Amino acid sequence: MGQNPGDNSNANRRTRRATRPACLGGLALLAVLTLPLTPGCSRDPAPPTPAPDVTAPEEWLRAVAAGRADDAVRLATAILGDNGAVNDIPSVYAELFRANGLSPAFIGAAFEPRDAAVWADALFFLDLAGRPSSGPEEAESLFSRVTGRLQPAAPANDRNLPWPRQTWQEAAGYCDRQAWVLCELAWQAGFETMIYYLMDPATRKSPHTICELRKDGRVWTADPFSRRMLADVSIAQLADDDGRLEAFWPERADWRQAIRHGVYLTPALAQDYCPRNQRLHAALRPALRGRCPRFGEAPAGRARRYADLMRAAEPQRWHDTDPPIRLWDFPLRLLVAADARAAQPVPPPAASR
């Protein structure tokens, strides 16, 4: 999940722009030194115009864009005035982490390099999404970006862990991976997003994964793996409409049945549960504004906000029931797998023959 400058041209441009004032200061000094001296002028060259002060949030953004994890963590600590560690951990989060092989202590711990990897990936998708817009074509444009990039198949190296950025770089992925990539891209573009597992009512296993996007009072049901998206139709509305459902998946009767028994999942990373990242994002947002990537939004609050949007859009459906929204365990299990892989000893190089 580390930052790869080679696949983030916008981030590289940001870094170049950020260093430009210092270069201009050097050019100003060169101009002073080459001007002809006139009577009455001091022979001591004027000092260069100092570069404008760079705030800690700006320095943090530069460090993240350049992949300098240690610097980014140090600056995050400076921005908060402490290392972000807390003792009070919500019990619902602690139980979720224990159930998926993670220590709840991770939630209350101090900043660490794995946080910087999440910041870098968030910035990658923010740059990929481009300038936020409120036009009706924005969701379709993001969907086309994903389907134009990702092949509906396993990547060439399917041993890599399927973080969204890894899936994007490998340009292929199965349904759950493609839906997650679209959610991350749309999330950075200002959408509210949910993963949706279709569920077989007999086996309680999921045969397929899609997602739902919401913004500015509109909703989209998206299946990037199948290259299909519906505007102004929620997943719940699609599940209730036999004709529309058959047109959406004409050859998949099993999916048409399973969509009626599915569950919404909040696509939050393990680091989003941590108060350190929630506080950091709140501190960065006023300074960086639209250049601040989205991360560290409390997953339970994110789920409640999405449920409120669903109730507002379809009060007749949800006025006396709760939408089936859960916290997604897959990103937590993925972090466990990443830690286990990192702990494996590096094999010695093969002896030359």
- Spatial distance between the Cα atoms of 275 and 158, rounded to a whole number of angstroms: 33
User: Which has more pLDDT, 133 or 324?
Assistant: 324
- Average pLDDT over the chain reads 86
The pLDDT of residue 38 is 31
**Mean pLDDT value of segment 319-327:** 93
The pLDDT of residue 348 is 66
pLDDT by residue (tens digit) across 16-57? 333 333 332 322 222 222 223 233 333 334 444 444 446 999
Burial (CB < 10 A; 0-12, 13-18, 19+), residue 75, is buried
Say if residues 130 and 144 touch (Cβ distance below 8 Å): no
- Statement: residue 134 has pLDDT above 50: yes
pLDDT by residue (tens digit) across 194-242? 999 999 999 999 999 999 999 999 999 999 999 999 999 999 999 999 9
**CA angle, 181 then 148 then 178, to 5°:** 25
CA distances from 32 to 19, 29, 45, 243 (A): 21, 5, 7, 76
Q: Which of 7-21, 73-87, 192-206, 321-335 has the lowest mean pLDDT?
A: 7-21
CA distances from 124 to 86, 169, 181, 270, 289 (A): 28, 11, 12, 18, 16
Say if residues 117 and 69 touch (Cβ distance below 8 Å): yes
Q: Are strands 325-327 and 263-266 parallel, antiparallel or unpaired?
A: parallel
- Statement: residue 110 has pLDDT above 70: yes
**pLDDT grade for 345, boundaries at 50, 70 and 90:** confident
- Spatial distance between the Cα atoms of 274 and 293, rounded to a whole number of angstroms: 16
- Statement: residue 244 has pLDDT above 90: yes
**pLDDT grade for 114, boundaries at 50, 70 and 90:** very high
Say if residues 317 and 219 touch (Cβ distance below 8 Å): no
> Any idea where the domains of the chain sit in the sequence?
87-342
**pLDDT grade for 159, boundaries at 50, 70 and 90:** confident
The pLDDT of residue 157 is 75
Beta strands, E only, the chain: 192-198, 208-215, 218-223, 228-231, 263-266, 325-327
- Statement: residue 98 has pLDDT above 60: yes
